[in-house]
Chains A and B, each alone.
Chain A
Amino acid sequence: MRDFEYEAPASVAEAVKILSRHNGSARPLAGGTDLIDQIRTGRHAPQVVVDIKKIPELSVLELTAGGLRLGAAVPCYRMYGDPRISAAYAALADSARIIGGIQIQSRASVGGNLCNSGPAADSTPSLIALGAVAVIAGPAGQREVAVENFCTGPGKNVLAPGEFLVELKLPPRLPHSGSHYRRFIPRNEMDIAVVGVAASVVLDGSGEKFVSARVALGAVGPTPLFANEVGKLLAGQPVNEQTIAKAADAARAIARPIDDMRGTKEFRLHVTGVLTRRVIEESVQRARS
């Protein structure tokens, strides 16, 4: 692997200082499952690798009445290893359980998955569906960006030189709500999504009507897509096959996939509809139980 320096700051301020000093030629290291491979293959050539795992805020995993605080370096296994989080933020646990194999899940973080900004990232649609906000630190202080506005293109995002992701904030789980993430892959595990869909629904007390919903699509556009129209369409509607079929059509209309080695455009559009239906149905089941 090509040569680089290694720094392991103990505070957000110190990390910002190091990152700013190198003006874009330093890269934060969380689980390293993307970065180390990208350095090896030459896709990234940082002069400095900044290990952010020694910063306390980056390892926070805190569930309170105010919601979930998820430090940007918290590894995937801690998501599904905590029954309270798997229950309240089920879509996120669904994603964390299928990113890579067990070895990858020991290291890879949801924050890293977001910052790598791959269009097929498995945890980003779940973050969007659950209404997560990214907390970013930089030379000008902290700022917050809704996760649906974080990625700007394949491998690209809103982080400016000197900035890095500190944590993700998720709103508290509402009563009668449920969420789910599912992807299509030709294998059973260890693969990249051909299409991925996340949904989060809130039902009324009877469990027969959508109060609100958020749906997000992965691998069918240059970034993970927030399917805002699908949520608008579901709000206030009865929970039935017809409503959900309309939602699936709306999701297909938002998807703008490409043909590639993993699937054709036509196939991806079809799968978007099928997964949207299944993911909403499962979210409803979870909201009711």
Chain B
Amino acid sequence: MAKRRVVTTTINGRQTEFLCEPRQTLLEVLRDTLDLTGAKEGCANGNCGACTVLMNGRPVDSCLVLGVETEGAVLETIEGVAPVDGLDPIQQAFLENAALQCGICTPGFIMSCKSLLAENSDPTENDIRFYLAGNLCRCTGYDKIVRAVLDAAKKRNAEPAPA
């Protein structure tokens, strides 16, 4: 068996060290080693997006990243999204617009939406559908998800910019 390595990353703002084998994916490390089970395994081949996390600010399928590749990386997972006293506006919008049923795909969708709204604060329906093409949902038919993202963008844009 290949030697295990120590990897140092920042996860949700906290410096985190873990031991992993080269063959372990980031998704396996998050779920099985670090007990961050918010990222889900759907297809395990980069089609469904249920395992989406942000790596150095970019959305990635954590099933297609090796744990050892994240040395020095800044990672954000669904566990770091909500503030201590409530929900992120995107999470709130998903709830209010009933944009989830079984919920397996939701952490991945929320992470992709965070990245979308960071890049484009006023996306059109088409922008949203294109950006979220790498996240599959087998329950909602997507309409409610698209509406939730439009709603989240609208509410964010209505709020005064943080000082």
Decide yes or no whether A32 CB sits under 8 A from chain B.
yes
B155 at the A interface (CB under 8 A): no
Inter-chain contact B46/A37, CB cutoff 8 Å: yes
A33–B131 CA distance with the chains assembled, in angstroms:
18
Please, which residue of chain B has its CB at the minimum distance from the CB of A2? B23
Picked from B64, B65, B133, the residue with its CB within 8 Å of the CB of A189 is B133
Which residues of chain A (242-261) have a CB below 8 Å from chain B? none
Cβ < 8 Å to B, chain A residues 162-197? 188-190
Interface size of B by Cβ–Cβ distance < 8 Å?
36
- Stretch from B10-18, B51-59, B77-85, B88-96 that touches the partner: B51-59
Counting chain B CB atoms within 10 Å of each CB, the highest count among A3, A4, A107 belongs to A107
Q: Is B69 touching A104 in the complex (CB atoms < 8 A)?
A: no
Nearest neighbor of B2 in chain A, beta-carbon distance:
A5
Check B2 against A103 for contact (C-beta < 8 Å): no
List A contacts of B69 (CB < 8 A).
Answer: 29, 32, 51, 53
Mark contacts of B23-49 with chain A using CB atoms, 8 A cut-off: 1 yes-contact digit, 0 otherwise: 111000000000000000000111101
**A6, B59: Cβ atoms under 8 Å?**
no
Q: Is the CB of B55 within 8 A of A36?
A: no
- CB of A104 within 8 A of CB of B134, answer yes
Residues of A that sit less than 8 Å from B by CB: 1-6, 8, 29, 32-33, 36-37, 39-41, 49, 51, 53, 77, 100-104, 106-107, 188-190
Chain B residues with a Cβ under 8 A of chain A: 1-3, 5, 21-25, 44-47, 49, 52, 55, 58-61, 63-66, 68-69, 112, 115-116, 129-135
